[in-house]
Every structure is written in structure tokens, then in C-alpha cells.
């Protein structure tokens, strides 16, 4: 048994398939199967139940814990000696949603690469819930999310508060409500009669992303039977379509401000959804590498200046 074997079996556990794990590792299925059989023979127990999908056994779960722990310790050792030699190298894995990534990370990456030119950055784009899980498992080193899905790690600090609003093109609003548009807008904004939005077509973000999650909570709480015209992960795309009058869109104000020009924003009505649609975006990270701490501090400094 060696480090390579542990890497192989971690891949099998994550892919739940010998064929997919072999493809990911760029080796043959026969080679991977032989490694798996060899470890099971050495340990005297089955690590996986051979079925589709492959199921990990209790012994396999225990082996996976030790394999990941050893893999992490080896990585820390390499980082330590790189630092001693004055040559920081390695890969830093950062998890963030695609909508938030280009807003937060772009200036930070430029500064980071000046200080750490030898560090490869891997940006992992996923939903907020999945990012928290990836940070838990050690698949990423840093995660930027609302962390509402829960995280047992201790390294979490808030970056800023985000607010989801409802945006709708002015002409679409007038067309939908006709002569009563002004009065309807007043009742929605002042009296919070949100059910009046029911007749407006909706453009919804993904249900696992924050904006999509809050949109569905708002719709349910308001008793709305929605007419969904489109659903997508890409909020920038949805907001561009919103400007063209395809439907109303639930979107964090920071993202809307970033992806739309002043002229396009002037074509929209923004409706506040109240404190219930506000949440904190945080940054979480794993211990063990000074480069991680440096990147986290750069993100925090940038957000302090931005807000």
C-alpha cells in the first residue's frame, strides 16, 4: 500500500464507479481493479460492494478517513518544505458560485499572482450547498458561500451582507398591469402585497443557489402560483433577459449592479423583498498552509474596500 493506492481508492469512492475513477486517473480499469483487490487482500476485508453504483462498505468508510488524513498531511509537509526553500508551489482550490466569482475574485487573483507566481489556482464553480460539502471533505481549500447548509469547520468569517431583490422591466410591468400599474406598484412596495406579482412571468435562478432558493421561499410565503418562463444557473443571463422584458428576476443587488450598465438598470423596476431576503456571505477555509491564509486576507481586504 502506498500514497498512489490511496489516491486511487479515494477516486473510486468519490466516483462510485471503477470505470469513471480509472478515466479520471488516466489508468486502465484493470490496473485500478488490481490495486483495489490488493488493498482488500492486505486489509482482509471488502472496501466496496461490487454493484452499480459501487457502494462503499463500513470498512471502506474507515479506510477513506485515514487515506484523506494521510493525503492532507503529506500535502502539508510538501507546502512546509516549499516555504522553507523559498519557493511556494502547489495548487490552491477556491470554491465559489459562477455568478459571484468574477465580482469577488477577479481583483484578488491579480494581486495574489504577483505575490505567489508559483501557485496554481483552481476555481471550482458550484452551488452554495455543494461548495460547503466540498470544503467539509477537503475537495477545496477555500469556500465563499452563505454557509446556511452548515459547516463544522471553525474558520469562517463574514465578508458582506447580500440582498435579493425582484427586478422587472418597466414596460413589461406596465403591459401586465395596464392602467393600474402605478397603484399596483405602490401596494407591492408600501403594503407588501407581493401576491400581486403572480401575474408577472418569472425568470428563476437554480434552486440550489441562494437567489433561486430565496425566490422559491418568497413565492411560497406569498402564496404565489408562479408562471415560470425560464430557469437557469447563470444570473447574468437571466438579468439580461429581464432587461429585454422576458420576465421578472430574483437577483442579489450586488450581482445586478455588476452585470448591468447604468442604462440597462434604468429600464428596470427594483422591488425590495425585505429583511427576509438578506443573508451573510462568508469565507471558510482549511488550516495547514500559509498561502491559504494569505488569499483569505486578500479577499477580506478587497471586500472591506468595496463596502
pLDDT confidence tier of residue 71, bands split at 50, 70 and 90:
confident
pLDDT of residue 240: 96
Which segment of 36-45, 138-147, 152-161, 264-273 scores lowest on mean pLDDT?
152-161
pTM: 0.71
Counting every residue written for the chain, the total comes to 307
Tell me the C-alpha to C-alpha distance, in Å, between residue 160 and each of 2, 50, 145, 152, 169.
44, 47, 11, 21, 28
Is the pLDDT at 278 greater than 70, yes or no? yes
Nearest to 280 by CA among 160, 126, 124, 148: 160
Q: How far apart are CA 276 and CA 274, in angstroms?
A: 5
Residue 283 CB neighbours (<10 A):
22
| Pick from 58, 63, 54, 5: nearest CA to 34 | 5
Tell me if residue 249 falls in helix, strand or coil: strand
From first CA to last CA, the distance across the chain in angstroms is 51
SS3 136: helix
pLDDT of the residue at 219? 93
**DSSP 8-state code for residue 208:** T
Amino acid at each position: 500500500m502506498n500514497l498512489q493506492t490511496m489516491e486511487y481508492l479515494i477516486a473510486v469512492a468519490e466516483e462510485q464507479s471503477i470505470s469513471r475513477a480509472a478515466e479520471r486517473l488516466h489508468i486502465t480499469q484493470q490496473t485500478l481493479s488490481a490495486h483495489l483487490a490488493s488493498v482488500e487482500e492486505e486489509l482482509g476485508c471488502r472496501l466496496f460492494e461490487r454493484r452499480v453504483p459501487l457502494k462503499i462498505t463500513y470498512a471502506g468508510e474507515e479506510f477513506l478517513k485515514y487515506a484523506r488524513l494521510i493525503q492532507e498531511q503529506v500535502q502539508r509537509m510538501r507546502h512546509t518544505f516549499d516555504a522553507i526553500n523559498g519557493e511556494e508551489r502547489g495548487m490552491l482550490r477556491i470554491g465559489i458560485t459562477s455568478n459571484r466569482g468574477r465580482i469577488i475574485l477577479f481583483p484578488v487573483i491579480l494581486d495574489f499572482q504577483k505575490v505567489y507566481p508559483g501557485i496554481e489556482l483552481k476555481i471550482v464553480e458550484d452551488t452554495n450547498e455543494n461548495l460547503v460539502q466540498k470544503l467539509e471533505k477537503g475537495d477545496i481549500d477555500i469556500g465563499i458561500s452563505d454557509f446556511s447548509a452548515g459547516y463544522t469547520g471553525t474558520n469562517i468569517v463574514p465578508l458582506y451582507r447580500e440582498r435579493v431583490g425582484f427586478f422587472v422591466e418597466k414596460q413589461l410591468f406596465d403591459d401586465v398591469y395596464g392602467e393600474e400599474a402605478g397603484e399596483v406598484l405602490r401596494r407591492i412596495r408600501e403594503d407588501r402585497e407581493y401576491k400581486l406579482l403572480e401575474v408577472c412571468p418569472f425568470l428563476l435562478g437554480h434552486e440550489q443557489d441562494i437567489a433561486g432558493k430565496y425566490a422559491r421561499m418568497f413565492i411560497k410565503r406569498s402564496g404565489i402560483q408562479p408562471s415560470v418562463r425560464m430557469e437557469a444557473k447563470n444570473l447574468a443571463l437571466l438579468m439580461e433577459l429581464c432587461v429585454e422584458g422576458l420576465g421578472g428576476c430574483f437577483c442579489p443587488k450586488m450581482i445586478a449592479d455588476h452585470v448591468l450598465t447604468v442604462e440597462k438598470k434604468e429600464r428596470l423596476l427594483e422591488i425590495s423583498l425585505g429583511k427576509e431576503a438578506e443573508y451573510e456571505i462568508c469565507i471558510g477555509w482549511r488550516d495547514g498552509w500559509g498561502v491559504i491564509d494569505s488569499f483569505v486576507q486578500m479577499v477580506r481586504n478587497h471586500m472591506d474596500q468595496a463596502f
